[in-house]
Amino acid sequence: MAELCARLRRWFTGKGPGRPVLPPSSLVSIGKAIETTSDDEFDCEQTNRLLDQFAEAALRGEDSAPWMDLIQAHLDRCPDCQAEFEALLHVLETEDT
């Protein structure tokens, strides 16, 4: 019960005691995520809205439009959207024509 209370207190009040050490490799990964952050990133919904168009363009070998860069940047940092893109691409690549 005491541990549960401590965890709830930590959860709701912000910082708590007993913090673990993150290894340098983890800090570097977080640093990379911070360093590559930009103000005008596409979010998941913006990316999903254009994902079908992006997948067809990718299959045609087009990759130079500015909006495609924004989608690619989102896919590079969002494994969830990247998974949906890979599945869609695979479906299109294996489609009977």
Q: Residues in the site for other proteins, rule: CB under 8 A?
A: 3, 7, 10-11, 14-37, 39, 41, 43-45, 48, 50-53, 55-56, 75-88, 90-92, 94-95
- Closer residue to other proteins, CB minimum distance, 44 or 63: 44
Check: CB of residue 82 under 8 Å from CB of residue 89: no
Amino acid at 66: P
Cβ 93 to other proteins shortest distance, Å? 9
Cα(93)–Cα(97) distance, integer angstroms: 10
Check: CB of residue 48 under 8 Å from CB of residue 84: yes
Cβ 26 to other proteins shortest distance, Å? 5
